[in-house]
Amino acid sequence: MISKSLGLKMINVNILIWLLILPILAIGQDFVKLDTLQEAPIELQKLINNEEIIAVLSIDITGDSKSDYIVTSRIVENEYKFFEYWVSADFNILRRMEVFGDGIQIRKFINIDLDPELELINAIGFEDGIDYTIQDFNVITGELKTILYFNPIIETELKDYWGYPWDWTKLKINQNNKIKASLNHNIERDGNITIPKNQKIMPAIYFEGNPTQEITVEKIQETNWLIINEIVEKSR
């Protein structure tokens, strides 16, 4: 009898440990990988025929399991004017925008909500300040809408660090599309950054990664797991 009850206790302890570990394991989603094509498909060359194609990346932006294209091009008469095209797998131009070559520009594609197309996590700026945003792409209109400005955090086992974008490996998002975030913090931003007019709070968003700089963040009171729409609404 004694050994049986001890055995039961052991099982209970094991279950308890698993319940404690599971929330840690069940998080973190990789960003979607972009593949570089060595050569632009002939259809793309026909589509963008009055500009010089410099680079072609392939990624399924629309979420229909067919690879789309991100094309960087240059106007032949002006070698400093660059454009980016997002082109669907069946060679429809979804979006065209001018792009600028200087400064810090890191972007990650990831699906964070219920619509099939990918969302974008963007870090854009210069040495003196970087804007961190989440952008939502509308496949029908081609619009890329900034829905949230945020403060990035990289969480390690022991500490929270400022989440520089080159150190991100995953977004902390669980199977229910809930992102680890904080709307209750005293993080102060300095530098040359955009202060969004339509947000009262710039929430902290959590990433996994390998912090390369010893800048810890200790001003976060409370974290929650929330879907992106909740984070956006509660930030307003």
Question: Interface with Ca ion by CB under 5 A: which residues?
Answer: 60, 62, 64, 66, 68, 89, 111, 113, 115
**Least CB distance to Ca ion at residue 137 (A):** 8
H or E element, residue 142: none
SS3 68: strand
CA distance 130 to 128: 7
**Least CB distance to Ca ion at residue 125 (A):** 25
Cβ-based nearer residue to Ca ion, 112 or 183: 112
**Nearest residue to Ca ion on Cβ basis:** 62
Cβ-based nearer residue to Ca ion, 60 or 160: 60
Strand order in the sheet with 144-149: 104-110, 119-126, 129-137, 144-149
- Whether the CB-CB separation of 86 and 57 falls below 8 Å is answered with no
**Least CB distance to Ca ion at residue 124 (A):** 21
Cβ-based nearer residue to Ca ion, 62 or 182: 62
Cβ-based nearer residue to Ca ion, 58 or 184: 58
**Least CB distance to Ca ion at residue 129 (A):** 28
CB within 8 A of 144, min separation 6: which ones? 95, 97, 120, 135, 136, 137, 138
**Least CB distance to Ca ion at residue 148 (A):** 14
Cβ-based nearer residue to Ca ion, 1 or 140: 140
Cβ-based nearer residue to Ca ion, 68 or 160: 68
**Least CB distance to Ca ion at residue 71 (A):** 14
CA distance 110 to 179: 12
Q: Which residue's entry shows tokens 């629309």?
A: 62
CA distance 15 to 24: 15
Cβ-based nearer residue to Ca ion, 60 or 208: 60
DSSP β-ladder status, 151-155 and 160-162: antiparallel
**Least CB distance to Ca ion at residue 171 (A):** 13
- Whether the CB-CB separation of 172 and 161 falls below 8 Å is answered with no
Structure tokens at 134: 């989440």
CA distance 70 to 14: 48
